[in-house]
Amino acid sequence: MESVIHVKNLVKSFGKTPVVKDLSFDVNKGDVFAFLGANGSGKTTTIRCLLDILQPTRGSALIFGNKFDLALASRIGYLPEERGLYTNAQVMETLVYFAQLKGMTTADAKQKALKYLDRVELSAHHATEIKKLSSGQQQKIQLGITLINAPDLLILDEPTKGLDPVNRSLLMELLDELNENGATIVFVSHQMDEVEKIANRLVMIKNGSQALYGSLQEVKKQFGTNTIHITYQGEIPSNDAMYRSSSIENNVAELTPTSETSTNDVISHLIQHNVIINDFTIGTPSLQDVFVKVMKSEQY
Partner 1 sequence: MNHIYLIAQREYIRTVRKPIFWISTLLLPTFIILVSFVSGYSADQAEKSIQEEAQNAQSILLYDPLTFIPEAFVIDPLEKVQDIDEAKSKIIDGSADALFIIPEDITTTKKVEVYTQDTGVMSLGKFDPVVQSLIGASVASQLDPQLQPLIGGGVTIESTYYKNGDRTEISLEKYVIPLAAFALYFLLVFMANNFLLTSVSEEKENRMIEIMFSIVERKSLIWGKIVGITLIAFTQIAVLVSATALIIYFSTSNFDIPIDLTKIVFDPVNISLYLFYILSGFLIIASVMVGVGSVMPTYKEAQSFSSIFIIASIFPMYFFSILLQEPTGTISQIVSYFPLTAPMVLAARLTLDALTATEIVVSSALVILYVIGGFYVAFKLFELGSLEYNNKVSFDSIKEYLIKKSN
Residues that bind partner 1 (CB under 8 A): 15, 48, 51, 53, 70, 73, 76, 78-80, 82-89, 97-98, 100-102, 145-146
Q: Shortest Cβ distance from residue 84 to partner 1 (Å)?
A: 3
Between 35 and 291, name the residue whose CB sits nearer to partner 1: 35
Q: Distance between CA 267 and CA 262 in Å, rounded?
A: 9
20 and 46 in contact (C-beta within 8 Å)?
A: yes
Residue 228's DSSP bridge partners are 255, 282
**Would you call 299 helix, strand, or coil by DSSP?**
coil
Q: Distance between CA 31 and CA 201 in Å, rounded?
A: 7
Q: Shortest Cβ distance from residue 181 to partner 1 (Å)?
A: 21
Q: Shortest Cβ distance from residue 97 to partner 1 (Å)?
A: 6
Q: 47: phi > 0 → left, psi -120 to 50 → alpha, else beta; which?
A: alpha
153 and 64 in contact (C-beta within 8 Å)?
A: yes
Between 174 and 192, name the residue whose CB sits nearer to partner 1: 174
Between 50 and 267, name the residue whose CB sits nearer to partner 1: 50
Distances (CA, A) of 68 to 61, 98, 186, 227, 260: 8, 19, 16, 47, 52
Element (H, E) at 20: strand 17-28
Between 25 and 78, name the residue whose CB sits nearer to partner 1: 78
110 and 92 in contact (C-beta within 8 Å)?
A: yes
Between 184 and 210, name the residue whose CB sits nearer to partner 1: 184
Q: Shortest Cβ distance from residue 5 to partner 1 (Å)?
A: 14
Q: Shortest Cβ distance from residue 18 to partner 1 (Å)?
A: 16
Q: Distance between CA 234 and CA 232 in Å, rounded?
A: 7
Nearest 5°: phi and psi at 222? -60, -25
Between 101 and 275, name the residue whose CB sits nearer to partner 1: 101
Between 72 and 114, name the residue whose CB sits nearer to partner 1: 72
Q: Shortest Cβ distance from residue 88 to partner 1 (Å)?
A: 7
Q: Shortest Cβ distance from residue 224 to partner 1 (Å)?
A: 38
Q: Nearest Cα to 102, choosing from 49, 66, 144?
A: 144
